[in-house]
Amino acid sequence: MSVEVGVVGAGAWGTALAQMLSSDGRDVLLWAREPELVAEINDDRRNGLFLPSAQLNASIRATENLADMADVPVLLLVTPAQHLARVLGGIGRSGGDVVLCSKGIEAGTGRLMADVARDAAPDASLAVLSGPTFAHEVAAGLPTAVTLACEGGEAQWARLASAIARPAFRPYYSDDVTGAEIGGAVKNVLAIACGVVDGLQLGQNARAALISRGFAEMQRFGLALGARPETLSGLSGLGDLVLTCSSTSSRNFSLGKALGEGANAAEVLGAQATVAEGAFTAPVLAELANQRGISMPIVEAVISLLKGTAPARDVVAGLLSRPLKAENTLV
């Protein structure tokens, strides 16, 4: 089996990407950590644990051997952000295109995924794929648009666009890798906050206000780290933020909703089959912001909720009692 594209990680998002990429009959190699999941995908054309709604295409082949991915020209990495270094290092990648599809910041180091990948695969050409994408909709072939940010500029874009684009999956070119990464990481934390608003039944006005003020926090943080405003306002920033702050199809929103309803964060996270990346990103995001003197009160509120230091209503009351000021997204 000669494949042009491989997908590393067979969670809901990785499986949906494999399904989309194989929609025109092209062969796709999909790596899964669990042998039983590999067997289910290959034998039954199903991923009952992570994407039960999809009947998988026949041109997807699953493997549990990371080494099978070493020579695939284009790799999409869809592992949880905190495991990216270990998994990419285990592939033994030398050259080729690596497209980062995980959204987060590495705990303990504060590194964005591109920084992690540069160390784990220094010879690879890196890109970031990010945007408003619910896995079940992508797998079903519903129209989707994303940002594809390429460190290698337009030459890399030309290679990747032909490998990744499909009639219902439309990538838009950028060379702002930092901006694409920051939008995806920060929106996960803000989605938890919007879930809390929903869990507390505070209404649509409150959610719209939180999305707007959360976007201001994303802009402050992103611009301080060198992201471009148009990237943060695009699909990988504002677009992804609006989607994940509006539906229980978002794992992070679902976590926040449970917290707003009075659940314990550790118990909710322990019961989830999939990873709510915002819970891991929030503390390191706040630490990076504090080091740079960037105000991110919504992110700080999420951390309080995750730690369980105060009831959700008290945390929201604290946000509402902040001093009144002019509406300015950059202070």
For 266, phi then psi, to 5°, come to: -60, -40
Neighbours of 165 (CB within 10 A): 14
Locus of tokens 């995924």: 113
Pairwise CA distance, residues 247 & 96, whole Å: 36
Interior angle at CA 81, CA 300 and CA 264, nearest 5: 45
Nearest one of 315, 306, 313 to 266, comparing CA atoms: 306
Q: Strands 125-130 and 144-150, how do they pair?
A: antiparallel
Q: Do 156 and 97 touch, CB atoms closer than 8 A?
A: yes
Residue 243 tokens, joined: 């989607």
Nearest one of 40, 38, 65 to 55, comparing CA atoms: 40
Q: Do 257 and 200 touch, CB atoms closer than 8 A?
A: no
Catalytic residue check, 307: no
**Of residues 103, 187, 257, 307, which has the active-site annotation?**
187
Nearest one of 218, 279, 223 to 253, comparing CA atoms: 279
- Residue type, position 260, single letter: G
- Long-range contacts of residues 83-90, Cβ cutoff 8 Å, at least 24 apart: 84/113, 84/116, 84/117, 84/120, 85/116, 85/119, 85/120, 87/8, 87/9, 88/8, 88/116, 88/117, 88/120, 88/121, 89/120, 89/121, 90/66
Residues taking part in catalysis: 187
